[in-house]
Structure 1
Amino acid sequence: MKKTQSKARQGEGLYLVLISVHGLIRGENLELGRDADTGGQTLYVVELARALARHPQVGRVDLLTRRVVDSRVDDDYAEPVEDLGDGAHIVRLDSGPKRYLRKEKLWPYLDCFADNALAHIRRVGLRPDVVHGHYADAGQVAVRLSNLLGVPMLQTGHSLGRVKRERLRESGLSEKDIESRYNISTRIHAEEEALAHAHRVIASTRQEVDEQYATYDNYQPERMEVIPPGTDLERFHPPKRGERKPPIWPEIRRFLQKPDRPLIMALSRADERKNIRGLVDAYAGNEWLRENANLLIVAGNRDDIRDLEKGAREVLTDLLLRIDRHDLYGKVACPKHHGSDDVPDLYRLVASTRGVFVNPALTEPFGLTLIEAAASGAPIVATNDGGPEEIISRCHNGLLIDPQDPEGIADAIQAILADRPRWQRYSRDGLKGVRKHYSWDGHAEKYVRLLRSLSREVRQVRHEQRQVSGRLANVDRAVITDIDNTLLGDTKATRAFVAWLRRNRKRVAFGVATGRRIDSAAAVLEEHGVPMPDVWITSVGSEIHYGSEQTPDRGWARHISHRWEPERLREALDAESGLVPQPDIDQRSHKVSYFVEPPGTLDVETIETRLYRADLHAHVIYSHERFLDLLPVRASKGLAVRYFADKWGIPLEHVLVAGDSGNDEDMLRGRLLGVVVGNHQPELQSLRGFKRICFARATHARGILEGIEHFDLLNRCDVPTGDGSG
């Protein structure tokens, strides 16, 4: 066992949790370019995990991703844990169907991923010093974990939904097509939430901060940190004198009539945004380039273009048609296959032929391929939209181009290839610049310094130790239910549930999760003859009390006080037309409440945007078209249930929760056993199909009993097999 791993087990050194949900992630032979989800981000997070684990102040790094069991992909992605060395691990968690899914299909399963991530962290036995989300989906998971654990959160967007939506609009796609294909509004909402919660956002370039993140409502420039990614300088290096042609050379050579000419290479996914067509048109339209250089396009792997997903199929079909239209046979190589081990050889091949690496993308958030090329000694030509501007300003190793100007692209490439002293200067300066500005060890050093400053800035409060005596310490399952229209609403059904509860009270903890105040909840339960709960989750999840004495959970109150500024919230909303403050008795220390007048007229997005722009943080809950509640970001029914289960050592999969309306949704999703009673509101219909959610036929409390039987709560807590949130 490595020294850093043993230190981590003793609790020494930082424990860092990185999250990257989608794509195919493994430590070796990354399938870069396989599809739109397996690109630069997958390489980034693996290399970041390794670099952080090498840092002397870091004890353990866990990179959490989704476990995939699918005959269409390698068995590596089904392994629960992969050791990366030096205390770094890839941890693959079950989430939704076992098969490989594109990222746009993963949103319904992220609550389950978060619950499984929490269970993994508990098994490790260490409190993370940070959770770090990569991309919008992982940001949603990181928000949940940060709120549950009370630890700092970092976020890296990699690419941003608002920018993508604008590019797609410019390409001619309709709003309807953009939404149906990319779930873009869900993604942008998740990005806004991540920006609202993150203690710091790590960007790769200043342009990303000033121009891309600045389009978001929750843009807070003081929370932005620019830390450029690095590259593996052992893997990417210049060619050695007399070095033989690499193994991939025959695959390239067979396309070319005059293979000794300099290579102009593009390396990317077969994606419309990578603008391969622009480079082909530039090459075809420049006679000097056609006569003095060859074009090499490396765009993923394929056996038959017809078998690829639609986007890649269209891009590669267009590429071959353009080669034919311009009669570029013998001048353009487009190999069908390459492996990750071939990538450094490809860059060195460009450098050894005194060629140029080109990134003509319509937009490029950073440009990892550019620093890989520079580390290999190849000059670069790159888009002027995004990160390449900063790379070239630091490395002085190439030229920027307008990606939509083929003639300008061709002129820039020719300017480098036709001027040998310039080529040599760019090659030499690129090597110096990469070593100075883009090493992973340098990135890790800045990252750890940031964490140390955050640990001083963020007040971390541990949960109170759970009691070692009392009923809650002796049960391993629980039923927690909404009150109105779920537990109550049918007198006979309530009596049947109470009878079941009395028979099984020694085995099962009983709780309520309600929007009512605790005094109101206690009064209505007493009126209907319901025994006092073991746990009271009241005021929409902002308060937790225990037992007949209604003992407050002060640890929960401290935990949810994070970023809670009720007076500023009132100042922001009291003048809002259509909002009438509820009576003082309904205003709680961690809840600000309004009536909506007239009912049904509130635009929640407008309220959320106003709060974002004022740097105010709250859960905005709009229910029954008449009630608006603002809670701390760490408070909700679902978060409170998970806090309770974790505190008392009850596995989430042994906790049955029941509800009837939209404000119950966040406690119904995930690893908990959810029951939607038969008289539920229409807004819960979207949860149908999740195998951990039972839609009961019976109404009110009889629906709860149906769910208890469905999951066999008193025995095995079975979850029926099927395709769902498992």
Structure 2
Amino acid sequence: MVDTAGPSGLYILLISVHGLIRGQDLELGRDADTGGQTKYVVELAKALARQKGVERVDLVTRLVDDDHVSPDYAVPIEKLAENLQIVRVKAGPNEYLPKEQLWPHMDSFADHLSTWLAEQPRMPDVVHTHYADAGYVGVRLSNLTGLPLIHTGHSLGRDKYRRLLAVGMGIDQIEQRYHMQARISAEEDTLSCAELVITSTRNEIESQYELYDYYTPEKMAVIPPGTDLEQFHPPVQGQPSLAQDFQDTLSLFLREPAKPMILALSRPDERKNIVSLLEAYGQSKRLQELANLVIVAGNRDDIRELNDGAQSVLTELLWVIDFFDLYGHVALPKHHSSEQVPEIYRLAAASRGVFVNPALTEPFGLTLLEAAA
């Protein structure tokens, strides 16, 4: 029997199944599964590992062995610090899959994780799951071991289902594309089992979780996400910029690159509403005279190779640029690195520009925090 008592401090097990998770150079905006959640869980793991009284933190995700992604994601154990590591376990086929296709493989994930945990010197003191798929795994792990379960939803199926119906998508279409019934069922089970649900805002509790049968507000707590102030800070006089290549790229797009910058930074997802921002800019000659618009929408080599949603958004952006003849006023760079993101905000600040997050819905806008910092 594995000892569950912590001899010198807490052992915390974080579970975040989908997307591409590694310790450095996160591929943010690659697709719909590599957004804010991947950054949140990696930074949370690092922050928890630095806390006094925490002996060990493991962040568990899915192992991906696929020639179309970095070999980093096929490494079973990635050490980030003496007491912190990313653990990758198998679930289904080796290739990278979108989260909607992972539901049939969650029992396999739970089995492999249980086997791995049984091989460890001690069991975790607490399991903290992120999103519905990890919640599904966490419920099974908690039932098997008696470990207390904490859950963070990040986004919720019932709320998304309601919004999709509101924009005219049919029930069968929603189910075929999003496997919404599996997701909502997993969320209900997670809410019934979790001892604590952590949300980013009060709105999540009052307007989103209230849609669930197992809505229990007394076991929900608001902990707003933070950001790394060592990375995100105002421009420092004399500090070299890591974004010179990015700045050079902007000069290829912009007729007057010294103008103030209106900056939008998100993945190319319809919910991020960046097409509407571009249309608003295109309709205002005054705004075009005052400022350039810079849209950083993920990374791409060939739009035709992206998923359908990203293809649609980027193609529409190009159409709108052409319709309003915004050449020389709008930059839509193809590439940026995660290390450049703080510098991109600083470029906008140095230009006396503004940051805009026009998203239709936002569980918690991490880019707003980064820009504010």
- TM-score between the two structures when normalised by the length of structure 1: 0.50
Aligned length: 368
**Paired residues of 2:79 and 2:85 also in contact (CA < 8 A):** yes
Q: Which residue of 2 aligns with 1:602?
A: none
Q: Which residue of 2 aligns with 1:514?
A: none
Q: Which residue of 2 aligns with 1:230?
A: 226
Q: Which residue of 1 aligns with 2:338?
A: 340
SS in structure 2 at match of 1:327: coil
Q: Are positions 1:13 and 2:17 aligned together?
A: no
Residues 9/150 of structure 1: CA separation in 2 closer, same or farther (3 Å cut): closer
Letter matched to residue 291 of structure 1? E
Q: 1:267 & 1:173 partners in 2: Cα distance?
A: 27
Q: CA deviation at 1:304?
A: 1.2
Q: CA deviation at 1:286?
A: 2.1
* 1:461-500 C-alpha deviation (Å, 9 max, x unpaired): xxxxxxxxxxxxxxxxxxxxxxxxxxxxxxxxxxxxxxxx
Q: Which residue of 1 aligns with 2:113?
A: 117
Q: Which residue of 1 aligns with 2:78?
A: 82
Equivalence map 1:427-506=2 (5 Å): none
**Paired residues of 2:107 and 2:137 also in contact (CA < 8 A):** yes
Letter matched to residue 26 of structure 2? L
Could you tell which deviates more after superposition, 168-177 or 240-249?
240-249
* 1:63-96 C-alpha deviation (Å, 9 max, x unpaired): 0000000000000000001111141110000111
Q: Which residue of 2 aligns with 1:662?
A: none
Q: 2:259 & 2:93 partners in 1: Cα distance?
A: 49
Q: Are positions 1:324 and 2:351 aligned together?
A: no
Residues 10/200 of structure 1: CA separation in 2 closer, same or farther (3 Å cut): closer
Q: 2:348 & 2:240 partners in 1: Cα distance?
A: 13
Q: Which residue of 2 aligns with 1:357?
A: 355
Equivalence map 1:557-568=2 (5 Å): none
Q: Which residue of 2 aligns with 1:383?
A: none
Q: CA deviation at 1:125?
A: 2.0
Moved over 6 A (4+): none
Structure 2 residue corresponding to 1:162, chosen from 158, 161, 167? 158
Letter matched to residue 324 of structure 1? D
SS in structure 2 at match of 1:15: strand
**Paired residues of 2:5 and 2:125 also in contact (CA < 8 A):** no
Could you tell which deviates more after superposition, 167-176 or 98-107?
167-176
Q: CA deviation at 1:10?
A: 8.1
Q: Which residue of 2 aligns with 1:487?
A: none
Structure 2 residue corresponding to 1:128, chosen from 120, 124, 131? 124
Q: Which residue of 1 aligns with 2:41?
A: 45
Q: 2:22 & 2:132 partners in 1: Cα distance?
A: 20
Percent identity of equivalent pairs: 60
**Paired residues of 2:6 and 2:125 also in contact (CA < 8 A):** no
Equivalence map 1:403-442=2 (5 Å): none
Q: 1:336 & 1:81 partners in 2: Cα distance?
A: 32
* 1:282-327 C-alpha deviation (Å, 9 max, x unpaired): 1112222111001010111111111111110001000000011111
Runs of 5+ unmatched residues, structure 1: 1-7, 376-726
SS in structure 2 at match of 1:359: coil
Structure 1 residue corresponding to 2:289, chosen from 288, 291, 308? 291
Q: Are positions 1:56 and 2:52 aligned together?
A: yes
Q: CA deviation at 1:177?
A: 1.1
* 1:684-726 C-alpha deviation (Å, 9 max, x unpaired): xxxxxxxxxxxxxxxxxxxxxxxxxxxxxxxxxxxxxxxxxxx
Letter matched to residue 345 of structure 1? E
Residues 212/263 of structure 1: CA separation in 2 closer, same or farther (3 Å cut): same
Q: CA deviation at 1:170?
A: 2.5
Q: 1:220 & 1:139 partners in 2: Cα distance?
A: 16
Q: CA deviation at 1:244?
A: 5.5
Residues 9/334 of structure 1: CA separation in 2 closer, same or farther (3 Å cut): farther
Letter matched to residue 202 of structure 2? R
Q: CA deviation at 1:215?
A: 1.2
Residues 209/10 of structure 1: CA separation in 2 closer, same or farther (3 Å cut): closer
Q: 1:253 & 1:205 partners in 2: Cα distance?
A: 39
- TM-score between the two structures when normalised by the length of structure 2: 0.96
Q: CA deviation at 1:123?
A: 1.6
Q: Which residue of 1 aligns with 2:92?
A: 96
Letter matched to residue 56 of structure 1? K
Letter matched to residue 300 of structure 2? R
* 1:607-649 C-alpha deviation (Å, 9 max, x unpaired): xxxxxxxxxxxxxxxxxxxxxxxxxxxxxxxxxxxxxxxxxxx
Letter matched to residue 332 of structure 1? V
Letter matched to residue 156 of structure 2? L
Q: Which residue of 1 aligns with 2:258?
A: 260
Q: 1:207 & 1:89 partners in 2: Cα distance?
A: 33
SS in structure 1 at match of 2:253: coil
Q: Which residue of 2 aligns with 1:313?
A: 311
Q: Are positions 1:145 and 2:103 aligned together?
A: no
**Paired residues of 1:11 and 1:126 also in contact (CA < 8 A):** no
Letter matched to residue 208 of structure 1? E
Q: Are positions 1:221 and 2:217 aligned together?
A: yes
Equivalence map 1:499-514=2 (5 Å): none
Q: 1:9 & 1:356 partners in 2: Cα distance?
A: 51
Which structure has the higher relative contact order (CA within 8 Å, separation 6+)?
2
**Paired residues of 1:140 and 1:193 also in contact (CA < 8 A):** yes
**Paired residues of 1:68 and 1:78 also in contact (CA < 8 A):** yes
Residues 244/88 of structure 1: CA separation in 2 closer, same or farther (3 Å cut): closer
Q: 1:358 & 1:194 partners in 2: Cα distance?
A: 34
Structure 1 residue corresponding to 2:369, chosen from 354, 368, 371? 371
**Paired residues of 1:50 and 1:86 also in contact (CA < 8 A):** no
Could you tell which deviates more after superposition, 86-95 or 116-125?
116-125
Letter matched to residue 253 of structure 1? S
Q: CA deviation at 1:162?
A: 1.1
Letter matched to residue 336 of structure 2? H
Letter matched to residue 113 of structure 1? F
Q: Which residue of 2 aligns with 1:273?
A: 271
SS in structure 2 at match of 1:90: strand
**Paired residues of 2:196 and 2:221 also in contact (CA < 8 A):** yes
SS in structure 2 at match of 1:89: strand
SS in structure 2 at match of 1:124: coil
SS in structure 1 at match of 2:88: strand
Once superposed, what is the RMSD of the aligned Cα atoms? 1.4
Q: Are positions 1:36 and 2:32 aligned together?
A: yes
Q: 1:308 & 1:170 partners in 2: Cα distance?
A: 26
Structure 2 residue corresponding to 1:209, chosen from 201, 205, 208? 205
